Amino acid sequence: QVQLVESGGGLVQAGGSLRLSCVASGSILSINYIAWYRQAPGKPRELVAKITTGCLTNYAASVKGRFTISRDNARNTVELQMNSLNPEDTADYLCNAEIRTTARSIVLYWGQGTQVAVSS
């Protein structure tokens, strides 16, 4: 099986920073992309940032310029550096990855999430 484990969430004041990490483990041949989503109460799950095998990235308009996603292929990890946080960033942050588990199988996986809370 494949597992995605997130860490790094916490409580910070507005203007502060956090670094989130997601580590993939298990039966992995390759990872096509890894993304961060977030979900706040009463809102749909939102794509925050995504990084592909070729290190192409995209960001939600609301976080562009403040958040940076990066990838370490050797460790099967991805990080999300979040700067200039504001209360609108408060949410459960979830790691999502498209993973090739066998030569002919590609599967989407989700982590359990890590909580981010930003006080005003």
**What does the pLDDT average to over 59-79?**
95
pLDDT higher than threshold 90 for residue 74: no
40-65 burial, b at 16+ Cβ within 10 Å, e below that, comes to eeeeeeeebbbbeeeeebebeeebee
- The rounded distance, in Å, linking the Cα atoms of 84 and 78 is 20
pLDDT for position 53: 85
Per-residue pLDDT reduced to its tens digit, 78-117: 999 999 999 999 999 999 999 999 999 999 999 999 999 9
Quote the mean pLDDT of the chain: 96
